[in-house]
Structure 1
């Protein structure tokens, strides 16, 4: 039986001949396959890193949106408080006698005075304007008239 196995091996060896370069080509294909496997693993790592970075970025964006909403609420509260303060001052100036209010308005910056007078009842504002020096009254009038000069027109 040993002779039969030797004979089979010999016949197989005779039938398994390779052309020149096939083994070199196989070696190159295997090397190339190894390089491609390494590159594929590197790309998978990069894809994972990008996915993690995207998740972190989405989380930061959501945190910023939440912070922006909180800030908007705080600003709204502050604006409401400031508006309430200005409204109280307007009411206070309206209820003052013109002789008491005029000296205050004379010392105010014209822009500031124009803001208050523009919000006051016309009769109260007119009484104060009448008591102001002509230069101060003119400056405040120009500011009040020009406040909406750059507003879009229909």
Structure 2
């Protein structure tokens, strides 16, 4: 029996509420305050507290309005700054891609040059290669020796004077340690 009463009670209470809303037809007026600044003091002009309160309320309303305007201005500025940052981010990503491709092509060019140089030393006689490598900086000579075929490298090191061979071997070991 309880279940059949609840829908009827809901209908009884909601019909008058719907009728009131229908009559007003403007919901903003239902929830808005009807007091306007000019009508606030109607009949209360001789009460100093009421006059002071009305003035304070007007001042607060103006401050709130200015604050809301400044918030809207800041929102617009933030939106513009965000768009500028997005454009800059896209630009920087494009530049990064360009730099990376140039760097990759330069690295590839250096790598191919080194490979050609290593191929030249692989084709040389060990004594001739040793004479040239002893005149190069030790780290560069060690890099070349690391890249030539092991048999060729062994013959070249054997053709170098012992002090220079020890220096090149130390450089080769240091290079291996640096890579780790």
- Alignment TM class, shorter chain as reference: 0.7 to 0.9
What is the alpha-carbon distance in structure 1 between the residues aligned to residue 178 and residue 120 of structure 2? 31
Q: Which runs of 5+ in 1 are unaligned?
A: 1-15
Q: Please give the alpha-carbon distance, in whole angstroms, between the structure 2 residues aligned to 1:111 and 1:60.
A: 42
The aligned residue for residue 5 of structure 1 is none
* TM-score normalised over the length of structure 2: 0.71
> 1:76-128, CA deviations, whole angstroms, 9 ceiling, x for partnerless residues?
11111110000000000110112221211010111000000000001111111
The list of structure 1 runs, each at least 4 consecutive aligned residues, that deviate by more than 4 angstroms after superposition, is none
Q: Identify if the C-alpha distance between structure 1 residues 89 and 99 changes in structure 2 by more than 3 Å, giving closer, same or farther.
A: same
Kindly state the Cα deviation for residue 42 of structure 1 after the two structures are TM-superposed.
1.2
Give the match's secondary structure for 2:177: coil
Which structure is higher in RCO with an 8 Å CA cutoff and minimum separation 6? 1
2:138 to 91, 96, 110: 110
Shift of 1:147: 2.3
Aligned length: 137
- Confirm whether residue 120 of structure 1 aligns to residue 135 of structure 2: no
Q: TM-score, normalised by structure 1?
A: 0.82
| CA pair 83-103 structure 1, distance change in 2 beyond 3 A | same
Aligned Cα root-mean-square deviation (Å): 1.6
1:151 deviation in Å?
5.6
2:113 aligned residue: 85
Q: Does 1:23 align with 2:51?
A: yes
CA distance in 1, matches of 2:93, 2:116: 34
CA distance in 2 between partners of 1:32 and 1:110 (Å) = 81
Q: Matches of 2:144 and 2:166 in 1, distance apart?
A: 15
TM alignment of 1:128-147, pairs within 5 A: 128-147=156-175
| Separation in 2, partners of 1:147, 1:93 | 20
Q: 1:130 to 1:84 in 2, by over 3 A?
A: same
* Unaligned 5+ runs, structure 2: 1-41
Aligned-pair CA distance for 1:39: 1.4
> What SS does structure 1 have at the residue aligned with 2:176?
coil
* Alignment partner, residue 89 of structure 2: 61
Kindly tell me: are residues 142 and 80 of structure 1, through their superposed partners in 2, closer, same or farther at Cα, counting changes over 3 Å?
A: same
